[in-house]
Amino acid sequence: LHRQDTPSVDPRIIVAVGVGLVLLTQPVRHLFRVQRIKSDWTKAVILSGATDPPGKYSRKKDNPTGPRLTRVQPCAAGYKGTVKISRSNSFQNLEKYREAIGNNLDRRGLKLRDLRLESNPDRMSRATATIVLRDPFAIREPIQWDWLKKERTSLWDSIPFGVDEEGHPVHITLPYRSVLIGGQPDSGKSVALQILVAAAALDPDARLIADTPLSVGALDDVGHGCLGSGVTPPCSSDAPTRATKT
């Protein structure tokens, strides 16, 4: 008897199959994850009591349904999807059960941080649900201000103020508007104020006026501004004024 040699497999085929499996792993995992979120949403809506009220001749009395979650996509904070609201329900009713729905989602293992619901201004039967699983700013690297290298600005232009949780640029417009910045200690109020002050300092047509009991050393080099002490009104005869900027 002669031993028959086993035909060898081309190594390139093995590599191609391995690469294909790696490429398919992420989409398949995402697909299963999305289907699980949809299923968990449906069960959370039923358990929370946010189901559609049955009609007089409805067949759904023993099989309750509610607002359905569709078009689920990953986002920086977790997942975002479109909620379809039936004719017998409303966004106001869905919002009323938001905390209960979120609690049921969390108890199903999603480790939910928050559940956000936003109505659709164009369609009353649609809403947007954001399932927040993480803080998108906790893992984001510091970004550079867009106007950092500018030598001259104009406050009539929109000022780059930062980015939202999706990474999209956020701008702020000052003309004909008032800005109030508030927050808890160490929440970034001073940093937010520095952006507006820096933009105004680079505008030769703007005049900076500060009235604060704290030290504002950053205004020392600004020529087109004046400073009050919290007791002395800014720009009064006793308040320190800056010389013309050279």
Per-residue HEC secondary structure of 46-95 comes to HHHCCCCCCCCCCCCCCCCCCCEEEEEEEECCEEEEEEECCCCCCHHHHH
Asked whether the predicted pLDDT for residue 154 surpasses 60, the reply is yes
Hunting for tokens 């508030």 — which residue is that? 182
Q: Residue range 176-193: average pLDDT?
A: 85
- In three-state secondary structure terms, 196 is helix
Position 197 confidence tier, pLDDT thresholds 50, 70, 90: confident
pLDDT of the residue at 79: 92
Q: Encode pLDDT of 35-74 as tens digits.
A: 899 999 999 999 998 888 765 545 555 567 889 999 999 8
Q: What is the mean pLDDT of the chain?
A: 77
The rounded percent of the chain whose pLDDT value lies above 70 is 70
Q: Encode pLDDT of 157-178 as tens digits.
A: 999 988 888 778 899 998 888 8
Find all residues with CB under 8 Å of 96, minimum gap 6, and list them.
Answer: 50
Q: How far apart are CA 230 and CA 1, in angstroms?
A: 105
Q: How far apart are CA 119 and CA 96, in angstroms?
A: 13
Asked whether the predicted pLDDT for residue 241 surpasses 70, the reply is no
Q: Residue range 91-115: average pLDDT?
A: 91
